[in-house]
Amino acid sequence: MTTRIHNKKTVSVFFFTLAALCWSSLALAQTTIDSVRLHRAPDHTRIVFDLPAPVDHKLDKLANPDRVVLDLQDAALDFDVKTLDYASSPIANIRVGKHTDKTRVVLDMKESVRTRTNLLKPIEPHGWRLVVDLFDKELQTAKTDKPKPQKPVEPKAQRLMIVAIDAGHGGEDPGARGPSGTYEKTIVLQIAKKLEALVNDKAGMRAVMVRDGDYYVPLVERRKIAREKHGADVFVSIHADAFTDARAHGASVFALSNRGATSARARYLAKIANESDRVAGVYEEEEDDSSLYSVLADLQMNGSMAGSLYLGRQVLLEMGKVTKLHGNRDKVEQAGFAVLKEPEMVSILVETGFISNPTEERNLRSSAHQTKLARSVLNGIDAYFRSHPAPNSWYAAQRREQGDEYRIQPGDTLSEIARQYSVSEQSIRSANGMDGDRIMVGQVLKIPRS
Tell me, yes or no, whether 315 lies in a domain.
yes
Predicted confidence at residue 446, as pLDDT, reads 85
Number of domains comprising the chain = 3
Let me know whether 168 and 117 are in one domain. Answer: no
Per-residue pLDDT, averaged over 205-234, amounts to 95
Let me know whether 96 and 48 are in one domain. Answer: yes
Tell me, yes or no, whether 250 lies in a domain.
yes
Q: Burial of 243 by CB count in 10 Å (0-12 exposed, 13-18 middle, 19+ buried)?
A: middle
* Residue that wins the pLDDT comparison between 353 and 389: 353
Predicted confidence at residue 150, as pLDDT, reads 45
Let me know whether 102 and 168 are in one domain. Answer: no
Predicted confidence at residue 297, as pLDDT, reads 61
Predicted confidence at residue 181, as pLDDT, reads 95
Give, in degrees to the nearest 5, the angle at Cα 58 between 55 and 61.
150
Helix 367-387 and helix 184-200: axis angle, to 10°? Answer: 50
Predicted confidence at residue 258, as pLDDT, reads 75
Let me know whether 438 and 300 are in one domain. Answer: no
* pLDDT reading at 13 higher than 90: no
Tell me, yes or no, whether 10 lies in a domain.
no
Domain-ending residue, one of 346, 363, 387 = 387
Predicted confidence at residue 11, as pLDDT, reads 47
Tell me, yes or no, whether 382 lies in a domain.
yes
Helix 358-365 and helix 367-387: axis angle, to 10°? Answer: 80
Let me know whether 383 and 411 are in one domain. Answer: no
Let me know whether 81 and 128 are in one domain. Answer: yes
* pLDDT reading at 401 higher than 80: no
CB neighbour burial string for 292-307, b if at least 16 within 10 angstroms, e if fewer: eeeeebeeebeebbbb
Let me know whether 183 and 219 are in one domain. Answer: yes
pLDDT band of 390, cuts 50, 70, 90: confident
Let me know whether 57 and 198 are in one domain. Answer: no
Per-residue pLDDT, averaged over 428-447, amounts to 87
* pLDDT reading at 57 higher than 90: yes
Per-residue pLDDT, averaged over 298-320, amounts to 85
The CATH number that applies at residue 433 is: 3.10.350.10
The CATH number that applies at residue 103 is: 2.60.40.3500
Predicted confidence at residue 108, as pLDDT, reads 96
Tell me, yes or no, whether 122 lies in a domain.
yes
Let me know whether 202 and 351 are in one domain. Answer: yes
pLDDT tens sequence across 254-293: 999 877 898 999 999 999 999 999 999 986 544 444 444 5
Tell me, yes or no, whether 21 lies in a domain.
no
pLDDT band of 403, cuts 50, 70, 90: low
Predicted confidence at residue 419, as pLDDT, reads 78
Longest dimension (CA), the chain: 120
Q: Burial of 76 by CB count in 10 Å (0-12 exposed, 13-18 middle, 19+ buried)?
A: middle
Tell me, yes or no, whether 378 lies in a domain.
yes
Tell me, yes or no, whether 398 lies in a domain.
no
The CATH number that applies at residue 271 is: 3.40.630.40
pLDDT band of 416, cuts 50, 70, 90: confident
Predicted confidence at residue 378, as pLDDT, reads 98
* pLDDT reading at 153 higher than 50: no
Let me know whether 95 and 171 are in one domain. Answer: no
Q: Burial of 60 by CB count in 10 Å (0-12 exposed, 13-18 middle, 19+ buried)?
A: exposed
Residues sharing a CB contact under 8 Å with residue 7, sequence separation 6 or more, in sequence order: none
Q: Burial of 156 by CB count in 10 Å (0-12 exposed, 13-18 middle, 19+ buried)?
A: exposed
Range of the domain at 414: 403-447
Most confident residue range from 146-155, 273-282, 398-407, 434-443 = 273-282
Q: What percent of the chain has pLDDT over 90?
A: 64
Per-residue pLDDT, averaged over 1-16, amounts to 49
Predicted confidence at residue 155, as pLDDT, reads 46
pLDDT band of 118, cuts 50, 70, 90: very high
Let me know whether 367 and 430 are in one domain. Answer: no
Let me know whether 332 and 272 are in one domain. Answer: yes
Predicted confidence at residue 283, as pLDDT, reads 67
* pLDDT reading at 105 higher than 90: yes
Average pLDDT of the chain to the nearest whole number: 86
* pLDDT reading at 391 higher than 90: no
Per-residue pLDDT, averaged over 184-213, amounts to 97
